[in-house]
Structures are given as C-alpha cells and as structure tokens.
Chain A
Amino acid sequence: MAEAPVRQNPIDARPWTFYALGALFFAYLLFLYGPMLVIYALSFQGPNGGVTFPIVDPSLDWFRDVWRPGQMANIPVAFWRSMTLAGIVCLLTVLISVAAGLAYRRPFPGSGLVFYLAVSSLVMPSLLVGFGIGLGFQFLGLQADLFTSALGAQLTWTLPFGLLTMFAVVNRFNRSWEEAAADLGATPWQRLRYVTLPILLPGILGVGLSAFTLSYDEYARTTLTIGARNTLPLEIYALISSQTTPMLFALGTLTTAASFLLIGVSLVVLLRLQRRREWMSRRAT
C-alpha cells in the first residue's frame, strides 16, 4: 500500500473564512460595547453636564445621586426589592425546572402537552401575561403585589426558560454513570444526591443565574402586576419618562460592574467545583 501523501495538517491552515468571521465577531463586539462605553464614560459627567459629550468637570456626583432617594424614584429601595424578588424567582425556578427536566428523561403521558404549554408561555407577548394576571386579580378582588402577582408573572417567563435549559443540560448527561451507581448498590436517593445532581450542577447553576437576571431585568410582565411597590426596572422606566440625567448612566455602570462581579464569582465557584471533582477522582484511584 502506498504511503499516504503528506498533507498539511488542515488544523494548522486557517481558511479565509476564519478571518472574515473573526472580523465580523469583533465588529459585533464593538457594536455591542460601543454605546455601553459611551454611557460608562458619561456616568462620570460633572454636576452641570448633560447627557451627551463633552464631559464637563468629571465627577462622581451621579453615582452619589443613585444612592440618594429622589422625588421621582427611590433607587436603593427598589434595588433591594428587585434583588429579593430575583432571589426568590431564582430559587423557585431552579427547584421546579430541575424536577421538570428530570421528568422528561423518560416518556410519560401528557409530556407533549406540558411542553407546548411551556413554549406558549415563553412566546406569549410579555405584557399580555401581566394583563391577564392583573385582570384575574381584579376579578378576585385581590390586591396586586410584589410577591404574589409580580412573582407569578415572572415565573411564567423564567420557568419555560429553565425547562429549555434543562433539556440541553440533561441531554449531555451520560446515563451509564447512574447505572454504574445503581449496580454498586446505591439507593435511588443516593444516586440522585451523589451522582446525578453533582454532574448536572454546572447546568443547574446556569439555570439559576439566567433566572436571576431574567427576573432582575423583567419589565413588561411586571408592570401591570406590581401593585404599589416598584421594582428597579419600573423605577428606571418612570425616570426616563420624566427626565434623563447622567444618573441613569451611572446606574448602568454600576449594574454592569455588579454583573461582572456576579459572573466572576460564578466562574470561581465553577472552577472550584471542577478542581474538587478532579481531586476527588484522583483520590479515588
């Protein structure tokens, strides 16, 4: 048999599409961050400066303004409300959609119906969900509130998202791990606790993180179901309908900094989990 001709390793040669798509990707990043950078810069506007360039006497005044309860909006109070609500939504979404994701690992009657119910809830125009829930509360003579109607309206959005994420997570799961655990005599509970959940953990964290941000930023479903106590996005909305000041930009800068922190912490947790897993498997051998 003749020797195969020596070919250049195809992995080493970058096709022209690599450069074209790479350029597209970096153009997209520029597009994504361009206006963001403008608002980061403008949030250091001086007290007499406006919402466009140039920056007059750079200062931290607008950051201070964020923490000062104003006439139009009380940002700190609304912020903690949003955080609390997002925390509850995150917890409920993780518990409920992880259970639901596990349910879909075997066929069961009605699985199609529940799937289409979730998809419908996901694609329903957001304001209409709030409208329906608001109407329902009115008919029942209930007062709409942060932790009842608004919480419910947000769950109709985060739960289908969580379920779809769980499908992706569960699909990648290799069943033979569980079978091995069962063959070694693990009880179903032990199998879930020590095998299934730890392997699914990164995906579950992803579900929680996305539920948290979806809730924290949710506006359209919440606006008709909130009652008297506004969340942060609703306060921001009230602010921009009255007047735009660099304070909103300062708020945007703070939010971005907070999300960098959140992502950083999640990454550290994930890396530690991975390292611990490696360490444990090394110890086991």
Chain B
Amino acid sequence: MTGAVVDALANEGIRPRAPSVGVERELLREGSDPVPRARPRRLPGWAVSWLQILPLTTILLVLFALPTLLFLAVSFFDYDRTGIYPAFLLDNYREVLTSASTLRVYLSTLKFAAIVWAITLFLGFNIAYFLVFHVRSGKVRLVFFLLCAIPFFTSAIIRTIAWIPFLGRSGAFNQAVLALGLTSRPLDFLLFSSFSVVIAYVHLYTLLMIGPIANALSKIDRSLVEAARDAGASRWQTMAHVVIPLSKTGIALGSILVITQVMGDYFIVRQMSGGQSASIVSALSVEIQAMQYPPASASAILLVVIVAIMVGCLMRIVDVRKELVK
C-alpha cells in the first residue's frame, strides 16, 4: 500500500516521459536489475491520479455516502417505543410533509438563510473588493486578512454567546446608548430575537464569503479593468460587466458555504432566540434524542433534498468545477 502511494507520488508528472539519464543512473545505483537499459514501468496518468485520489474517495464513500444511504433506508422503517424495525413505509414522510410545524420551521430557516445570505454577500463582496483592489501594500493586505480571520480561531460557541453581555438588557450596547441619552429605556429587541440570530450568523459566516470572493477577485487581470475604463466604462459599468462576472465563482462558492451553514445550523438559532424559534435541524435533533430514528431520518432526507436543490441551482448558474479545476 505504502509502495503504491510512493509510486503514485513519484510518478507525479506532466506526461509520461522517456526516462532521462538521471533516472537510469538512479536505478542502476539501486541495483535491483543489472540490465543496462532498464526502463522503469510507468503507470498511465489516469492510474496515478486514481491512486492519489483513492484515500479521499474511500473515506468519503465509507463515512459520508454510506451513512447517508443508511438513514435513507431507515427513513422507511417502522418504529415504536422500544426499537426500530425494517420495513418499507411511507408513513414517516407523510407525517413530516403534512405537519404544520415542519412548514413553519422550514419557512423560518429559509427566511434566516435569505437574510443572512444577502447581508454576508454585500459585506463579503465589498470587503474583499476593498482588500484586493484598494489596499496597495501586500503587507497591509495580509494584516487586514488576518484581522478578519483571527476571530475565526475562537470557538464559534463562545463567539455566539459573546453577544449576550453585549446586546442584553443591561449589556454593553444598552449601557452605552443610555449613557449617551439616545434612548430612555433599554432596547429589548436586541437580544433573544430574530435580530440577534441574524447578528450572530453574520458575525460567524461573513468570512466564508470574504475568502472565496477575495480569491476570485485576486485572479482578475488588472489590465482588463483598466481596459474597461480606457474604453469609457463608468465605475458601475466596469463593476457590472467586468468585475462581477469574473468573480462569480467566488460569489457562488461563498453563497454555497453561507447558505448551507445556516440551513444546517441548530445551535445559534436556539441560543440567540432564547429558545423562541427552532431551526430545521434543532427540531430534528429533538427527534434523534428521543431515539425516534425513522421520522428523524425522513426529515433529514427532506432537508438533504432541499439543500441539494439549492446547491444544484447555484452550481448551474456557475460551473464551479470548471472554474476551480483548471
């Protein structure tokens, strides 16, 4: 196994080449075969790639694809208080699809996803644009990037609850506003509301938008922007017809990351809404804790289908794969 991997790594090359003099000398020195014109046997390029991709594929198949198929199967199972039983029932889906609470939870999560997507896209694009196009010194840019990234290294849970002493009734923000005399009573809507949920999401996920967009922007050839300007395009025209189209891979990738994070979240909504609203996954985790695996699996499959449709649409707009793997 190790030998195969080493071979695959060693074969890493542009295209199969005739062995050079160096190769033969090396082979002779190792002395396995004294025949003068020993030719190392080369694997074809695709086989080398397969060996290199094998560990990744195996892990993802065993730990991601197989478990997904497993809960797909379980979603058709029967269950009672004591256990689950293999069967082929559609009851679990019927229950999930006809319950009013499913609809409510989905609408609420989709609403959050839409709001957070819009805000992070606006912030992410503008900040990435500022960092890539306006900051001239490479060192300053690096420092700014790091400033954006450092909070990412603190636990997301701690970063979320950090808002509580900030936004609470007697929190730092209210104290400041009261001290400035801007309001006579502390603002109540700041914490344990939809507002604080959105704030926490934006705080956590804007970086996921900045990264891919900045990467896409930094690949844009500057002379294209200058050419557009020389040809008389206004700032907005350059933006709309040159910069945005050329950075749409980054926009799509960032959008995918942010939207799927919000769709899959169950901690932030629960924590920041003060238990008032649930998310799709938090409702699902209640079922998992109650060991009701078949209905939990059915709603899991429903969520997977919806996320897959959303990601599929984004990937249709932009061929992320073609742009990434060049």
In whole Å, how far is A162's beta carbon from the nearest beta carbon of chain B? Answer: 9
Tell me whether A129 and B67 are in contact in the complex, defined as CB-CB below 8 angstroms, given that A42-B165, A191-B12, A259-B150 are known contacts: yes
**Do the beta carbons of A106 and B70 come within 8 Å of each other?**
no
Residue of B45, B66, B67, B147 most packed against chain A (CB within 10 A): B67
Cα distance A115–B56 in the bound complex, in angstroms: 10
Q: Interface on chain A toward B: helix, strand, loop, or mixed SS?
A: helix
Cα distance A77–B92 in the bound complex, in angstroms: 41
Chain A hits for B266, CB < 8 A? 127, 220
**Do the beta carbons of B49 and A112 come within 8 Å of each other?**
no
Give the B interface residue count (CB, 8 A).
105
Contact with B along A179-192 (1 / 0, CB 8 A): 10010011111111
In whole Å, how far is B287's beta carbon from the nearest beta carbon of chain A? Answer: 10
B296 within 8 A of A: yes
Cα distance A220–B269 in the bound complex, in angstroms: 14
**Do the beta carbons of B263 and A125 come within 8 Å of each other?**
yes
A60 within 8 A of B: no
Chain B residue, CB-CB nearest to A186: B22
**Do the beta carbons of B162 and A100 come within 8 Å of each other?**
no
Say which residue of A31, A38, A125, A220 sits within 8 Å of B267 (CB atoms).
Answer: A220
Cα distance A105–B231 in the bound complex, in angstroms: 37
Q: Which residues of A (26-50) have their CB < 8 Å from a CB of B?
A: 28-29, 31-36, 38-39, 42
B285 within 8 A of A: yes
Interface residues on A, range: 35 or more
A196 within 8 A of B: yes
**Do the beta carbons of B46 and A109 come within 8 Å of each other?**
yes
Tell me whether A28 and B206 are in contact in the complex, defined as CB-CB below 8 angstroms, given that A109-B46, A263-B153 are known contacts: yes
In whole Å, how far is A197's beta carbon from the nearest beta carbon of chain B? Answer: 9
A69 within 8 A of B: no
Show the binding face of B for A, using Cβ within 8 Å.
Answer: 5-6, 8-14, 17, 20-23, 26, 45-46, 48-50, 52-53, 55-57, 59-68, 70-71, 74, 123, 126-127, 129-131, 134, 136, 144, 146-159, 161-166, 168, 170-172, 175, 203, 206, 215, 235, 253, 256-257, 260, 263-267, 271, 280-281, 284-285, 288, 293, 296, 300, 303-304, 307-308, 311, 315, 320-321, 324-326
